[in-house]
Amino acid sequence: MKKYMFGLLFFSLFLSGCWDRRELNQLAIAVAFGFDKVDDEYLVSAQVVVPSEMSTSGGTGKSQVTLFTAKGKTVYEAFRKMTKESPRKIYPGHLQMLVIGEELAEEGIGESLDVLTRDPEIRPDFYVVIAKETSATEILNVTTTIESVPANKMFKSLKVSEEAWAGTKSINLDELLTDLISEGKEAAVTGIKLIGDPKLGSSKQNVESITPAASLKYDHLAIFKGDKLVGWLDENETVAFSYISNTVKTTVRPIACPNEGEATIEVIKSKAEVKGNVKNGKPEININVQVKGNVGSVLCKIDLNDLETIAELEKSFEKKGVANGKETIETLQKQYNVDIFGFGEAIHRSNPKEWDKIKDNWDEEFPNLTTNINVDLKILRTGTTDRTFLEKVNE
């Protein structure tokens, strides 16, 4: 027993105390940050939870978050200036979202991200989005339905949308920084838009109506060259990007029926392989996308028991996928000259020596890069009926 007690006393000498512990009532817990550029200063916004409204005993019915803003020559200075308004120090340990204004993104996001990489209290697993056609401050000032904390709504909506639709892309801070410094790959970040009246959107009345006066919606994909925003991809182009970059989990895509009308394919699995090669000193990319799906809806007269009909639906999907992929790649090559797919990385993996020869001139090589796309769909199920009830209605 004495030996046991002596051991406890001995090891206790090496245990450090909580000298840097801070009580919750000394912190303002931020769930979202917004970065904007106004003239030559940074405008930083912090969406902070209101403890009294988040308590289990119930609040007063007021907003569960508040917004603090401050300006500074640097983002770090702006954060410290928030103490002039906030009664507590802003704590970023539970951050869920970072919204960057479009104007700042066009100027460059590198400097504004620097402070987030240095703060040991910040976990880099929060999502980053770009405010399209508005400021980050206006985005964070909108009250939301279902999720009373707007940052929670933005985080969950992006996660669910990426998993169920494939027209959006989630990216956290670590992933963004990796893309910004990678050779042979540029960054792409989902955009978020404010729909409706921003003034009414910040009021409590906004969430008391069945149809809010203002809402937040993910739309388009911001593409970067270096750390600067250079353009946007539309929804169809974003879907093509998702397929090629192998991030599609599940989605639905309408296709043309053999004669007339449309059918919808529910994609349940997608796997893309991007392989680089160099032929006669010229780089090329081969893309192979393997898709498995089900027939989700039929708005045309077809016999789903006919194997030839199934084959025609598969070909329709494949043709549309190849065309969409080619158009998206051409847009990035000719209009923006930005490689967000990581084609340069694919060539580096397959031919490191050849990549060393062309990497410094990738901006000249990429617009003329040869790309070959193959899409293969396998329809697994057609539903519980071989005919749509619409046929019987119209008979």
> How far apart are alpha carbons 315 and 308 in whole angstroms?
10
* Mean pLDDT over the full length of the chain: 90
Please state which of the ranges 48-52, 64-68, 240-244 shows the lowest mean pLDDT: 48-52
Of the candidates 285, 253, 256, 254, the residue with the CA atom closest to the CA atom of residue 272: 285
Residue 139 forms part of a structural domain? yes
Strand pairing partners for 370?
Answer: 284
Question: Looking at the structure, do residues 319 and 202 belong to the same domain, yes or no?
Answer: no
What is the average per-residue pLDDT within 269-284?
A: 94
The Cα–Cα gap between 207 and 202 comes to 9
| Whether residues 257 and 377 fall in one domain | yes
φ/ψ (deg, to 5) at 384: -90, -5
Residues 41 and 97 in one domain: yes
Q: Is residue 16 part of a domain?
A: no
* 228 & 246 share domain: no
**Best CA proximity match to 33, nearest among 111, 112, 102, 103:** 112
Are residues 183 and 94 located together in one domain of the fold?
Answer: yes
Q: What is the pLDDT of residue 209?
A: 83
Residues 55, 156 share a domain: yes
CA distances to 43, 70, 71, 100, 358 from 39, rounded to whole Å, are 10, 14, 11, 16, 39
According to DSSP, the β-strands at 27-38 and 89-91 are parallel
pLDDT recorded at residue 199: 87
User: CA-CA distance, 271 to 244, in Å (whole number)?
Assistant: 9
pLDDT tens-digit series, residues 178-225 = 999 999 999 999 999 999 998 888 888 888 888 999 999 999 999 999
Same domain, 224 and 242: no
Domain-embedded: residue 5? no
pLDDT tens string 300-329: 999 999 999 999 999 999 999 999 999 999
Q: Does 189 map to a domain? A: yes
Reply yes or no on whether the pLDDT at 357 is more than 70: yes
Pairwise CA distance, residues 50 & 272, whole Å: 45
**Alpha-carbon gap, residue 49 to 149, rounded angstroms:** 8
The CATH number assigned to the domain holding 310 equals 3.30.300.210
Of 183, 211, 233, which residue sits at a domain end?
233
Say what the pLDDT of residue 204 is. 81
CB of 333 closer than 8 Å to CB of 318 = no
Could you say which of 233, 260, 281 is where a domain stops? 233
pLDDT at 142 over 60: yes
193 with 253, same domain: the answer is: no
Predicted model pTM:
0.89
Residue 242 shares a structural domain with residue 204: no
| Angle at CA of residue 136, ends 338 and 86, nearest 5° | 140
User: 268 with 229, same domain?
Assistant: no
Residue 11 lies in a domain: no
**Residue 20 belongs to a domain:** no
Number of domains in the chain: 2
Let me know if residue 125 belongs to a domain: yes
Residues 171 and 285 in one domain: no
Domain stop point among 175, 203, 233: 233
Q: For the residues 170-179, what does the mean pLDDT come to?
A: 96
In this structure, the answer to whether residues 183 and 56 fall within a common structural domain is yes
Within 10 A of 306 (CB to CB), how many other CB atoms are there? 11
DSSP 62: S
Within a domain: residue 178?
A: yes
Q: What is the pLDDT of residue 241?
A: 97
Domain containing 165 equals 25-233
